[in-house]
Amino acid sequence: MTKKKSEWFFGLSGKANLVISLVFVLVFCFLDQLIPGKTPVIPNFVKYIAVNGLIYAIASLGINFYSGYLGETSLGHAAFYGIGAYMTGYLTTRFGVSFWLTLPLGMLAAAAASVPVALAGRRVKGSFMVVITYAFCEILRYIVINTDELGGTAGIPGIKPPTILGMKITKMPFLPSNKDGYILILYAIVVFLAFFTWRFVHSREGYAVQAIRQDEIAAEAMGINVRWYRLKAILISAVICSVAGSFYAAFANLVDPSMLSAMLSINIFTMLVIGGRRSIPGAILGGFIVVILPELLRGVQGLIGLPFDPWYILYGLMLILIMRFRPEGILGEKE
């Protein structure tokens, strides 16, 4: 009897991955306190990349429910990301609402916005669904651009960072840098979502969603409520993406219409394609790849004096190679 392949990183168990990643994150955050000096051991810019990587990992885990386990292609998940971001930006700056209260409100708003997309999916699928999700995202973007209350094209600046017990997470006295608070909180969210996804996939609901992906007609003949599980998949997906958007708005201290752009939707979907559909570590890896590679290539651009950004060339080349030689993604599951 062959041993089942591990669903986590390095072929290790989930517990082993949790312990290793926790030790790594703690060392990453507190190394500057262990090795004091005039310059930080880990540059602030590296921690900035880590925060963005964790935010994108959350978004990638979110779209995995819809474009991974359900198997529908979406070019509109920036809509849910942007809804979370705008809900946080608008409520915190206009009404002084706590960031932690805007999180569930953004989740509710994203869930409500996903319902019409799910209803549209009752009649169309495949390439038609791609057009619907893309159009939905663009409609929201143009609504935001033309709404003065939401800042129009300028967006909403001056978003304050979250606080815990009256202290800003950017100014925690026991943390070496203003990014470490975000890293610890976002890491905890990624761990929770990884466990939640694993439980969902191995539950009755998860098996039902995957049966719909493989053969919708057969699934319905077996008594699976296809419409309900399609709705459930996009609801979960939208809610998770809204959380990523809320944290990005707080981290960037700004929200603008680019958070509802088609390019961001393509990036979110690409994270999953590169990392691997229906793979928890693949979704996380994809989020970090899309953040780290552009920064590395910009350094190369400046070093050798290229007149253009090499990321876009590698971006297209990487997608072509993955689609040709590993269509399931780096860590994705084959059908």
What's the CA gap between 291 and 312, in Å, rounded?
Answer: 13
Has residue 1 got a pLDDT over 50?
no
Provide the 10 A C-beta neighbour count for residue 135. Answer: 15
Coil vs helix vs strand at 25: helix
* Mean pLDDT (whole number) for 47-72: 96
pTM given for the model? 0.94
| pLDDT, tens digit (0-9, with 9 covering 90-100), for 82-124 | 999 999 999 999 999 999 999 999 999 999 999 999 988 777 7
Share of the chain above pLDDT 70, in %: 98
In single-letter form, the type of residue at position 276 comes to G
pLDDT band at residue 318 using 50, 70 and 90 as cut-offs: confident
Containing H/E element for 164? strand 163-164
pLDDT band at 136 (very low <50, low <70, confident <90, very high): very high
Residue 330 contacts residue 271 (beta carbons within 8 Å): no
The pLDDT-based confidence of 142 (bands split at 50, 70, 90) is: very high
pLDDT one-digit tens code per residue, 179-234: 999 999 999 999 999 999 999 999 999 999 999 999 999 999 999 999 999 999 99
Residue 275, pLDDT > 50, answer yes
What pLDDT digit, counting tens, does each position of 21-38 carry? 999 999 999 998 888 777
Residue 2 has pLDDT above 60, yes or no: no
Give me the mean pLDDT over the 147-156 stretch. 94
Q: What is the rounded CA–CA span in Å between residue 75 and residue 268?
A: 8
Q: Which residue has the higher pLDDT, 13 or 155?
A: 155
Mean pLDDT of the chain: 91
pLDDT in tens, 190-201: 999 999 999 999
